[in-house]
Chains A and B, each alone.
Chain A
Amino acid sequence: MIRLENVTKRYGTETVAVRDASFDIAKGDFVFLVGPSGSGKSTLLRLINRQEQPERGDVWVAGQNVNEMAESRVPYLRRNMGNVFQDYKLLPNKTVFENVAFALEVIGKPRHVINRQVPVVLELVGLAGKEDRFPEQLSGGEQQRVSIARAFVNRPLIMLADEPTGNLDPATGEGIMALLEEINRTGTTVVMATHDHRVVNAMRKRVIQLDRGVIVRDQERGVYE
């Protein structure tokens, strides 16, 4: 589903964000990218959804070479990916329903599809009944659920999560992880960048560890260390 071949990415001329990274993630996998801040976890995610392009090497997603893709095809690539962030990136002037509906609206889905799919996904993330709230009226955990609902409403092949539990207390974080695991069980490939030991150790999934841009460990059913 996702394959990196000898990928190197530098910011400017000095800072090496990722150096010679290679890995293969199969469909339906659940993978943690771990390592301290600045080790290149976020850059890897940004390379996968083509917010960044590598200096050397190739990134393949669902059989397509992402770097050789025409600019005009990128939006269609991204429709196969859901993105979840530490800071949720919700639109403050839209309700829960509108935030989730927005993701379908801007890719041209008709109203009746939106009205059918949004309640289903809100039910899935446990926010049924809160459709008309605004983000500021929700707790952090609930806001992250909205953002997961927005990422998942289009049933993507891949879910990219960048520190989704970073702003949450441990108990709330567990709830979010349970949700991501449930989404993973539907066949969606999940790639999550985190430096949260507890989460990684509790889940026992594949772990790819980075240190200053270099992959130092790639382990099935790993722990954080």
Chain B
Amino acid sequence: MIARVAYAFREMWASFRRNLTLTVAAILTSAIALLLVGATFLIQRAFDNLLVQWRGDVEMIVFVRSDATPEQISLIDQTIKAAPTIIDVDKLRYLDKTQSYEEAKRIFVGDPVTLSLLTPDNIPSQFKVVPITQDPELVRSLSEQYRSLPGVQDVALAEDEFQVISTLSRFVRTVTLVMSLVLLVVAVGLIWNTIRTAMFARRREIEVMKLVGATNWFIRVPFMLEGLLHGLLGGIASCGGLWVLNSAWTNGVAGFKPGTGISSLVVPSGYLTGVMLLILAIGALVGAVGSAIAASRFLDV
């Protein structure tokens, strides 16, 4: 058993070094593809910070003063519910101070100064309003009405604040996702071709192996390991790239004026670690798939 494992790794390493040019190309391609995959996740997560308060078709947020009385809050609630033809009453949500504070932690993740000024006591609670009507003017006129209610601090409309970012986010997500998928396919193809070349170079050996009764798995495994290594190395390289990019971005964003929204566009380091692990897994998978196809397809050389 140990002899077999040792054999597989020895053969993998020998073959890995033999085709250096192709190997480097395969690794670089998978690294770039995986970098894009990772970037997609990070960009998406960063935008999510900005969009978190508008999630679920929320078009209007009524911020309630932190010192509002329960009577005032209940009056606001009833006023909103009084327009069921315009407002989707079932989807109306009230976030109390604690919930609002949790949300604020995400919105101000890159803006610690602002966040430090907020506490679960002084933060406004909020009503998240989902309209039924398609007419933005109707929603706008309602917002004017709510603004004059006692206890209301402010009313924010998605149209004014985040429509652009939401559209931008969707566009960026689509573009990066498509590009990374295309590049992943290219990476599989390049790994496939590298393994095929490696097998072709050793077709005599494979022929002898088959004739003396080596199992197909015995022949296949070193080649599959080689492809796996390509994918993993690509993954490691892209993790490094991702870390550098993210650090540079986070540092750059920290210099922005607080409250512009840009400072929300950062991700927590725990999330970055998760994405890196995911990238390594995808890399290994891409390598294994590419080489497995090649190894099965060309075993009859």
Minimum C-beta distance from A118 to chain B (A): 13
- Is A79 engaged at the interface, CB distance under 8 Å to the other chain? yes
How large, as a class, is the contact surface on chain A?
Answer: 20 to 34
Please state if B211 and A105 are interface contacts (CB–CB under 8 Å). Answer: no
Mask for A70-98, Cβ within 8 A of B = 1, else 0?
A: 01100111110101000001010000000
Contacting residue for B213 out of A76, A91, A150, CB 8 A:
A76
Q: Give the number of chain B interface residues (Cβ < 8 Å).
A: 17
Report the Cα distance A49→B4, complex, angstroms: 25
Q: Does A194 make an interface contact (CB < 8 A)?
A: no
Residue from the list A71, A76, A78, A108 in contact with B211, Cβ < 8 A: A78
Contact A75 B3, beta carbon cutoff 8 Å: no
Q: A108-B4, A110-B3, A111-B3 are in contact. Are A75 and B215 (CB under 8 A)?
A: yes
Which chain A residue shows the least CB distance to B202? A91
Q: Is the CB of B3 within 8 A of A79?
A: no
Residues of B within 8 Å of A150, CB to CB, are 212
For A49, what are the chain B residues with a Cβ–Cβ distance below 8 Å? 211
Residue A107 at the B interface, CB < 8 A? yes
Q: Is the CB–CB distance between A106 and B218 below 8 Å?
A: yes
Residue B171 CB within 8 A of the other chain: no
A144 in contact (CB, < 8 A): no
Are B214 and A106 closer than 8 Å at their CB atoms?
Answer: yes
B212 touches A77 (CB 8 A): no
B7 within 8 A of A: yes
Q: Which residue of A lies closest to B208 (CB)?
A: A89
A183-210 Cβ-contact flags toward B at 8 Å (1 or 0): 0000000000000000000000000000
Give the residue name and chain of the B residue nearest to A154 (CB): B212
Bound complex: CA of A110 vs CA of B216, how far in Å?
19
In the assembled complex, B209 has its CB within 8 A of some CB on chain A: yes
Q: How far is the CA of A103 from the CA of B204 in the complex (A)?
A: 13
Residues of A within 8 A of B7 (CB): 105
With contacts A89-B207, A91-B204, A91-B205 known, is A107 near B4, CB below 8 A? Answer: no
Cα of A79 to Cα of B218 in the assembled complex, Å: 14
Q: Report the minimal beta-carbon distance from A142 to chain B, rounded to whole angstroms.
A: 18
Q: Is residue A102 within 8 Å, beta carbon to beta carbon, of the partner chain?
A: yes
In the bound complex, residues from chain B placing their C-beta under 8 Å from that of A79 are 212-213
B7, B207, B215: residue with the most chain A Cβ atoms closer than 10 Å: B215
* Residues of chain A with a CB closer than 8 A to B216's CB: 71-72, 75
Give residues in B with beta carbon < 8 Å to A. Answer: 3-4, 7, 204-205, 207-216, 218-219
What residues make up the interface of A, taking CB atoms closer than 8 Å to B? Answer: 49, 71-72, 75-79, 81, 83, 89, 91, 102-103, 105-108, 110-111, 150, 154
27 contacts between A and B (CB under 8 A): A49-B211, A72-B216, A75-B215, A76-B213, A78-B210, A78-B211, A78-B212, A78-B213, A83-B212, A89-B204, A89-B211, A91-B204, A91-B205, A102-B208, A102-B209, A103-B208, A103-B212, A105-B3, A105-B7, A106-B209, A106-B212, A107-B212, A108-B3, A108-B218, A111-B3, A150-B212, A154-B212
